[in-house]
Structure 1
Amino acid sequence: MNSLVSTEWLAGELGAPDLKVIDATIFLSGAGRDARAEYEAEHIPGAVFMDLDELVDTANPAPHMLPPEHKFASRMQSLGLGDGNRFVVYDNSPLHSSARAWWMLRAFGAHYVAILDGGLQKWKAEGRPVESGKVHVRHAHFTAFLDREAVAGKEYVSGIVHSAEHELVDARPASRFAGEDKEPRPGVEPGHIPGSRSLPQTDLFNADNSWKRGDDLRAAFFAAGVDLNKPMVTTCGSGVTAAVPLFGAHLLGKEDVKLYDGSWSEWGADPATPKATGPA
C-alpha cells in the first residue's frame, strides 16, 4: 500500500477485513466547529474517529504532545485498530490533520499507513457514499513502541538553531511566522525559531485539496528556501500541521525528518528561547 492513496483506490478496498479507515479531523479551538459532531453527521463508511485533541500527554502543559505508549495503544485498541491492519487516514480540516495521525501511527510502530488524497472533501465531491452515527468495532490489540528518533525535543532544536547543516521548516501561516498575528494561546510570544524557513502547509496542496506531487511539490520546498538535501525538523503551532511538510518530504523520498512535537506553543512560551520576527 502506498503512503498516499486515491479515492478510487479506497472505494475499491472498502470492506476488506484488514483495512481500517480513520477520520482524524481536528480544528483550531476558535474555529467554531466540532470535529466529533461532524464525524457523526457524515463520514466514510466504516471509518472510526481518532480524537487528536484527546490523544495527548495530559501531564505536559504544551498541547498535542505525544501520549505515553500505553495510552496510545489503549486508544487504538478501543477503536478496533490492531497490529497487522492497513490504516487509511483522512480529514475534513483546513489543517490537513490526517498527516498528524499518519505520523503518530508510524511513530508508534504501525507499518501500513496511508493518507487519503483529497480527504473527505474530494470523496464527497465525487459523489461517493458517506454514513452517519458511530461505528461499532471489536476491541483489537495494538502494540505501541515509540520511535524516539522521529521526534525532536526543545533541547535538540536548540542545538540546531542557525545550523548550516539542518533545515527548520515552519508550517504555520506566513503572518504568524513573521509575528504579525497574535498567537492563539495565552503566554506564547509571536514570531518564529531563528533560522527557520516559512513553508505554510497550505502551499503543499492543489485547488481540489489533493497533494502536490513530484516537481510541483519539490518546487514548493524550493520556493521556501528549503534544501531537501539537509536533515530537517518540521514545526508549527502545536505539532499538528508540522506533519504536513514532513509527509510532503516523505512523498519526495526524504526520510531524515523529525517533528518538533512541542513546536511554537512550547518554544514561544519559554522566556529563555531565542525568537525572531519578520519574514524568513
Structure 2
Amino acid sequence: MDDFPRALSDRGPLVTPDALARELGDVTVLDVRYRMGGPPGRDEHRAGHVPGAAYVDLDADLAAPPGDGGRHPLPDEGTFEAAMRRVGVLGDRPVVVYDDWEGRAAARAWWLLRYHGHRDVRVLDGGLSAWRADGHPVEAGDVRPEPGDFHVSPTKQMRVVGPDDVTDVEVLVDARAVERYAGETEPVDPVAGHIPGAVNVPTTANLDERGRFLAPERLREVYAAVGADTARTVAAYCGSGVTAAHDLVAMASAGIDAALYPGSWSGWVTDPSRPVATGR
C-alpha cells in the first residue's frame, strides 16, 4: 500500500497518509466530508483540509435526488462528470479521496469514479484524522483547482445489481449496524429489517481500533465468516447506497469482487410488495 502511486490493480484501493504525503504534488485529492446529521462538510473543509484538496458535496455531486431509487440514488452521469471536472479530476492522474467518517463517505466517491472508468483511485486510510495523527499539515480556506478533463466511460468498471436481481446474489452483504439489520431499530427509513437472505457485515467490522482498515488477510477472514469469497457472487447494500461502498472497499482490499445495490434498503422498501426479514 505504500508504493503509491502504482496502478490500482497492483496495490488495492487504499493509501496511507505517509504515502500520500510523499506524492501530494502528483495526485488529485478530494475532500468528501459528510455525516448524516453532522456539521456541513463544506464548512469543515474551509476550516482545515489536506493541502490542495477540493471539496466534493456528497448530496449534490455523488447522488441524485431521493425517490423510488432510495435516499441516495446514483447521480446522473452528466452531473457527476461535471462535478469531477469542477474539482480538477483528470483522466490520467491518480485521485485520492478522504473524509472524517472512517472512509464511509469517501468510499462512495471511490466507487463512482471507478464505476465510471477512472483507473487509479484510492481512499485515504483513516481519513483526515489519520492524516493529522501521522503528523501531516492541513490548510484552511477554499480550494478552486484548474478544471479537469475526466470523461465518464460508456463501459462501466464496477458491477451493480437492481431490486429485481439482488436476491439472486449468492452472498448479499448488509453494511448497516446490526441493530438496523435485525430490525430492532430504524432511525431513518419507514420500514425496519433487511432483505431476506442478507448477511450482516457492519462497516465497523472493517476497521481496527484506530479507525483504519484491517489488513487484507484479516478482511478476508471477516468476509469468509459470512460466506463472501472469490468463489461466489457477492453484492453489498446499506441504508441508502453510500456506506455499502465501505464494505466494497474492504472486499476489494481482500481481493473479493462485489457489486453494489445502489437503491439499498431505502429503495427496497419503496415497494411494499417486497419481502422484509428481521432478526440477527
TM-score (norm 1): 0.90
Work out which of the residue numbers 96, 112, 126 in structure 1 matches 2:120. 112
Map of 1:48 onto structure 2: 54
Map of 1:273 onto structure 2: 274
Deviation at 1:250, TM superposition (A): 0.9
Unaligned runs of 5+ in 1: none
Residue 137 (structure 1) aligned with residue 145 (structure 2):
yes
Deviation at 1:25, TM superposition (A): 1.9
Deviation at 1:223, TM superposition (A): 3.5
Residue 169 (structure 1) aligned with residue 173 (structure 2):
yes
- RMSD of aligned residue pairs (Cα, Å): 1.7
Greater mean deviation of Cα atoms: 100-109 or 89-98: 89-98
The percentage of aligned residue pairs carrying the same residue is 38
Work out which of the residue numbers 103, 124, 127 in structure 1 matches 2:135. 127
Distance of 1:214 and 1:107 partners within structure 2: 22
Residue 156 (structure 1) aligned with residue 143 (structure 2):
no
8 Å CA contact retained: 1:197, 1:226: no
The 3-state SS of whatever aligns with 1:155 is coil
Distance of 2:217 and 2:146 partners within structure 1: 43
Map of 1:202 onto structure 2: 204
Distance of 1:176 and 1:254 partners within structure 2: 25
8 Å CA contact retained: 1:121, 1:209: no
Deviation at 1:105, TM superposition (A): 0.4
Distance of 1:94 and 1:114 partners within structure 2: 14
Map of 1:15 onto structure 2: 25
Deviation at 1:119, TM superposition (A): 1.1
Residues 94/86 of structure 1: CA separation in 2 closer, same or farther (3 Å cut): closer
One-letter amino acid of the structure 2 residue matched with residue 50 of structure 1: V
Distance of 1:149 and 1:129 partners within structure 2: 34
Deviation at 1:225, TM superposition (A): 4.7
The 3-state SS of whatever aligns with 1:244 is helix
8 Å CA contact retained: 1:173, 1:201: yes
Deviation at 1:66, TM superposition (A): 1.1
Distance of 2:99 and 2:184 partners within structure 1: 29
Unaligned runs of 5+ in 2: 1-5
The 3-state SS of whatever aligns with 1:249 is helix
Map of 1:57 onto structure 2: 64
Work out which of the residue numbers 12, 19, 44 in structure 2 matches 1:38. 44
Residue 90 (structure 1) aligned with residue 98 (structure 2):
yes
Work out which of the residue numbers 68, 81, 91 in structure 2 matches 1:73. 81
Greater mean deviation of Cα atoms: 175-184 or 216-225: 216-225
Residues 234/278 of structure 1: CA separation in 2 closer, same or farther (3 Å cut): same
Q: Size of the alignment, in residue pairs?
A: 267
Map of 2:3 onto structure 1: none
Deviation at 1:236, TM superposition (A): 0.2
Map of 2:193 onto structure 1: 191
The 3-state SS of whatever aligns with 1:212 is coil
The one-character-per-residue Cα deviations of 1:87-120 (angstroms, maximum 9, x if unpaired) are 0111101562211111010001111111111111
One-letter amino acid of the structure 2 residue matched with residue 58 of structure 1: P
8 Å CA contact retained: 1:239, 1:263: yes
Deviation at 1:228, TM superposition (A): 4.7
8 Å CA contact retained: 1:52, 1:64: no
Distance of 1:148 and 1:111 partners within structure 2: 9
Distance of 1:64 and 1:108 partners within structure 2: 17
8 Å CA contact retained: 1:24, 1:50: yes
Distance of 1:86 and 1:149 partners within structure 2: 18
